[in-house]
Amino acid sequence: METRSVTLHGRIFLRANIELRTGLHIGGAAGGLEIGGLDKPVIRNPLTNQPYIPGSSLKGKLRSLMEKVYGAPQTFRVNEGVYVHVPTNQDEYQRFRPIAGVFGTLPNHDKLTINVPTRLAIRDVPLTPESERQLRQLRTDLPYTEVKWEAAIDRVTSAAAPRQIERVPAGAVFGPAEAVYSVYVGDGETVAEVVELFGALLEAFTYLEDDYLGGMGSRGNGQVELRAVQIVARRLSAGQHDDMQEVASAESLRALDRAQVIEQLQRFFAASAGQAQP
């Protein structure tokens, strides 16, 4: 009888504030059609009416950027016209491991079984208290947001079709964002190589700063920058739940030395894996 095992050695937390360099639009459902109503509202917390960044939007964007950079084949159809990368065999999984090994895959997809759970979870990101206060005092077009007018131009008649886009103004800060990377180690894996995969998350966030978050980025929306970056970690073992320890911090993402961060994390988790400290 075949047996499988996976061990959780701990977790790595990447925390940062997300500063908007340009206005951000992450769409929500319109409350209803009305004359003069918004064409594209932003998503809001129904309890506070404040805009937020859904963890699903952030994780999906990071994964999409990694798939594009690595040239991963789009093998799984999500819905009409939308495809994503899901490995179909072990060779493909290993080749694109910084994607599926971090962001997750489907169980038993095309007869490929991956025994390790999804390692990455990303939380929803609220406005910081300071940004919430500033936006409330500014008396923006709508609570916490601005209305941006756009127009589609008919290429033949030059007739304009105006529409209203709601977005969070440039300069607002969301945070702290928190990405949680679980150090799951399956059969045939080592703690050191699983920790090394965490570097793919830092890589993905670097691509995000060069790209955009949310909708209509080609029209200027969604340029973001990570600020006040902190990486903390916690070791776990049966009957033991260590306190969190800071591994690295920097004012910006690009100020972090990725190789140095990975080396420090590998040293940190060596003890829980029963390995000698290097």
What does the pLDDT look like over 19-53, one tens digit per residue?
999 999 998 655 543 444 567 899 999 999 999 99
Query: pLDDT (tens digit, 9 = 90+) per residue, 155-210?
Result: 777 777 777 899 999 999 999 999 999 999 998 899 999 999 999 999 999 999 99
> What is the 3-state secondary structure of 142-177?
ECCEEEEEEEEECCCCCCEEEEEEEEECCCCEEEEE
Q: Is residue 275 part of a domain?
A: no
What are the phi and psi torsion angles at 47 (to 5°)?
A: -85, -35
Instruction: Decide which of 68 and 150 is more confident.
Output: 68
Q: Is residue 232 part of a domain?
A: yes
Spatial distance between the Cα atoms of 94 and 189, rounded to a whole number of angstroms = 12
Give residue 19's domain range.
6-270
Q: Which residue has the tokens 């045939």?
A: 188
Q: Is residue 1 part of a domain?
A: no
Distances (CA, A) of 174 to 14, 18, 221, 274: 14, 5, 15, 39
Find out whether 104 and 123 touch, Cβ atoms under 8 Å: no
Could you tell me the sign of the dihedral formed by the alpha carbons of 156, 161, 162, 167, in that order? negative
Instruction: Give residue 238's Cα distance to chain centre.
Output: 30
Q: Is residue 189 part of a domain?
A: yes
Best CA proximity match to 186, nearest among 100, 66, 278: 100
- Across the strands, what pairs with 44? 51
Q: Is residue 173 part of a domain?
A: yes
How many domains does one find in the chain?
A: 1
At 114 the pLDDT is 80
Q: Is residue 74 part of a domain?
A: yes
Which tokens go with 181?
């990377």
Q: Concatenated DSSP letters for 204-272?
A: HHHHHHHS--SS-GGGT---EEEEEEEEEEEEEETTEEPPPEEEEEEEEGGGS-HHHHHHHHHHHHHTT
Find out whether 230 and 203 touch, Cβ atoms under 8 Å: no
At 110 the pLDDT is 67
Spatial distance between the Cα atoms of 125 and 123, rounded to a whole number of angstroms = 6
Region label for 212, one of left (φ > 0), alpha (ψ between -120 and 50) or beta (otherwise): beta
At 1 the pLDDT is 47
Spatial distance between the Cα atoms of 183 and 200, rounded to a whole number of angstroms = 14
Q: Is residue 277 part of a domain?
A: no
Query: pLDDT (tens digit, 9 = 90+) per residue, 84-140?
Result: 898 988 899 999 999 999 999 887 666 777 888 899 999 999 999 999 999 999 988
